[in-house]
């Protein structure tokens, strides 16, 4: 196997995935968030894609790579491809009985991901967070949360660039005496609340933490709760948004409208 380029987040997550169930979940989280380059038989036309299909002993697979140069190294020639996120690819392949050959022959993370695992990933990523309404009576510093969740939140919120000014994690006491944690987003962009809540929910899921361990809230900078959170909470910075792409949107950029197989 030849290796192409520096180690990637998927390479690192793959190297650790057999060490624990949490590490295995973390690998699939990285896969869902990653931009992948899907090998095609011809240039994409609109939302219809014609991926190269390979019939192997373990089933039928498409091939995708987490770097353009890795795809080029595998193909050994200029080859058409589509760039799309792992979550969009999983949604596109779900129910098709088709697995994913990831980084085959060109990276330490080379592996075959069966159709069943992709279907599980698509279903897991498709779940939205539950809405919980409860009156908070006390806000405290966070405590007792596993490092796996903090790392997952840090990594996940990087993917939410530009969707909020910042976020704070704090302990809370509710009116009924219950205790938990709250991830409070400050100055969320209009319409971004569902995406931010889903990102927080996925961080829980892929950390192996029970869904009830953390609630999500949204506050303006002028809200007294925002000041309280900034005083006692653990801050997560969301990066600045990337420059918007020029020209028409490429297939697979909209997770709610995955491209179709030809």
Instruction: Dump pLDDT digits (tens) for 90-116.
Output: 999 988 999 999 999 999 999 999 999
pLDDT for residue 33 is more than 70? yes
The more confident residue out of 251 and 64 is 64
Instruction: Map tokens 């809540």 to a residue.
Output: 197
Mean pLDDT score across all residues of the chain: 85
For the domain 136-236, what is the CATH code? Answer: 3.30.300
pLDDT for residue 261 is more than 70? no
Please state which of the ranges 54-58, 144-148, 236-240 shows the lowest mean pLDDT: 144-148
* pLDDT confidence band for 238 (50 / 70 / 90): confident
pLDDT for residue 1 is more than 70? no
In CATH terms, is domain 9-126 a member of 3.40.1350.90?
yes
> What does the domain layout of the chain look like in residue ranges?
9-126, 136-236
Q: Looking at residue 246, what is its pLDDT? A: 47
* pLDDT confidence band for 248 (50 / 70 / 90): very low
DSSP per residue, the chain: ----SS--HHHHHHHHTTS-HHHHHHHHHHHHHSEEEEEBSS--BTTEE-B--EEETTEEEEEEESSHHHHHHHHSS---EEEEEHHHHHHHHTTTTEEEEESTTTSTT-EEE-HHHHHHHHHHHHPPPPP----EEEEE---S--HHHHHHHHHHHHTTTTS-SEEEEEEEEETTS-EEEEEEEESPPTT-HHHHHHHHHHHHHTTT--GGG-EEEEE-TTSHHHHHHHHHSEEEPPPPPPPPPPSSPPTT--TTS--EE-
Each residue of 3-15: pLDDT tens digit? 556 899 999 999 9
136-236 matches 9-126 in CATH topology: no
Each residue of 209-219: pLDDT tens digit? 665 568 899 99
If we measure between CA atoms, which residue out of 111, 123, 126, 118 comes closest to residue 96?
118
* pLDDT confidence band for 136 (50 / 70 / 90): confident
Q: Looking at residue 256, what is its pLDDT? A: 54
């Amino acid at each position: 196997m030849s290796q192409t380029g520096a180690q990637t987040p998927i390479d690192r997550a793959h190297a650790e995935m057999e060490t624990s169930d949490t590490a295995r979940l973390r690998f699939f989280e990285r896969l869902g968030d990653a931009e992948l380059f899907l090998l095609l038989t011809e240039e994409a036309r609109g939302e219809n894609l014609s991926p190269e299909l390979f019939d192997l002993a373990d089933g039928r697979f498409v091939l995708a790579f987490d770097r353009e140069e890795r795809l080029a190294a595998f193909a050994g020639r200029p080859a058409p491809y589509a760039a799309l996120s792992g979550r969009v690819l999983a949604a596109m392949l779900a129910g098709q009985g088709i697995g994913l050959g990831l980084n085959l022959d060109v990276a330490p993370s080379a592996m075959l991901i069966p159709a069943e695992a992709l279907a599980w990933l698509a279903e897991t990523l498709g779940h939205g967070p539950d809405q919980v309404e409860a009156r908070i009576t006390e806000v405290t510093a966070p405590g007792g949360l596993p490092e796996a969740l903090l790392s997952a939140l840090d990594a996940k919120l990087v993917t939410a660039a530009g969707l909020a000014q910042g976020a704070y994690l704090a302990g809370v006491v509710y009116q009924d005496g219950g205790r938990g944690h709250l991830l409070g987003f400050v100055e969320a962009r209009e319409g971004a609340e569902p995406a931010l809540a889903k990102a927080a929910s996925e961080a829980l899921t892929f950390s192996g933490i029970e869904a009830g361990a953390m609630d999500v809230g949204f506050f303006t900078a002028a809200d007294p709760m925002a000041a309280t959170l900034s005083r006692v909470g653990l801050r997560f910075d969301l990066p600045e948004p990337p420059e918007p792409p020029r020209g028409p949107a490429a297939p697979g950029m909209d997770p709610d409208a995955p491209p179709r197989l030809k």
